[in-house]
Amino acid sequence: MCLCLGPIKSGKTFLMKRLQGDEIDDATHTVSTNGINLFTIKNNTGEFDIIIKEIGGSMAPIWKHYFDMVRKIIYVVDASNLCQISAAGVLLYSLLVDPRLRNVKIALTLNKMDLSYRQMRNETLLILQYSRLQKEATQELTIFETSGMSGQGIEELRNWIFDPATLKSAINANK
């Protein structure tokens, strides 16, 4: 099971739609997710798909009810929202210390990189206190710079979702 988490309006739904291959243009608008959205994401050859569950940022206090069986988390941070980044770091920390998430893989996704007024990668990581998180985390953290709007970083994220081990078990499941 793969979850997509992150603060409200960090661009989770946009990013998932983009991964799912939905048409996105200026007129696309998303409704702030109060509940759960499910997305079916295909690998780059289109042979395999997995379901990703987006849980709305307003549900952060009850995220923990969804942690069983989770193997991967895409954690989306809006790099253009200076006020939100440090709060996003605190929320991330609360995930990292949950015993059920000790062995998950986390894609730390710095999103909305198309915006000129975004924070740069290094500044964002600094505000997130990334070096400390990394030191204390038992999880494997991978950083992505993405934009649901421009498509930047989407294929890298797809390849992370379908890493070799995941692909192999998908192939076995199909046999």
Whether residue 7 is annotated as binding a ligand: the answer is yes
Residues 13-42 that bind Mg ion (CB under 5 A): 13, 33
The DSSP line for 112-174 is -TTSTTSPPHHHHHHHTTHHHHHHH--SEEEEEE--TTT-TTHHHHHHHHT-HHHHHHHHHHH
**Phi and psi of 111, rounded to 5°?**
-110, 170
Whether residue 151 is annotated as binding a ligand: the answer is no
**Helices 12-20 and 154-161: crossing angle, nearest 10°?**
80
Specify the residue, 105 or 112, whose C-beta has the smaller distance to ligand GDP: 112
Residues 134-153 that bind ligand GDP (CB under 6 A): 147-149
Specify the residue, 117 or 122, whose C-beta has the smaller distance to ligand GDP: 117
Task: By CB under 6 A, tell whether 85 contacts ligand GDP.
Answer: no
H or E stretch at 84: helix 82-96
Report yes or no: 77 and 9 within 8 Å, Cβ to Cβ: no
User: Which part of the chain contacts ligand GDP (CB under 6 A), choosing from 1-9, 64-72, 84-92, 135-143?
Assistant: 1-9
Which of 19, 33, 63, 144 is the binder for ligand GDP (CB under 6 A)?
33
Report yes or no: 112 and 79 within 8 Å, Cβ to Cβ: yes
Task: By CB under 6 A, tell whether 9 contacts ligand GDP.
Answer: yes
For the bound state, the minimum distance from the C-beta of residue 61 to ligand GDP, rounded and expressed in Å, comes to 16
Report yes or no: 5 and 55 within 8 Å, Cβ to Cβ: yes
Q: 11-30 mask for ligand GDP (x: CB under 6 A)?
A: xxxx---------------x
User: What's the rounded Cα separation, in Å, for the pair 57 and 10?
Assistant: 8
For the annotated binding site, the residues are: 6-13, 33, 57, 111-114
Q: Which residues bind ligand GDP (CB under 6 A)?
A: 6, 8-14, 30, 32-33, 57, 111-112, 114-115, 147-149
Q: Which residues bind Mg ion (CB under 5 A)?
A: 12-13, 33
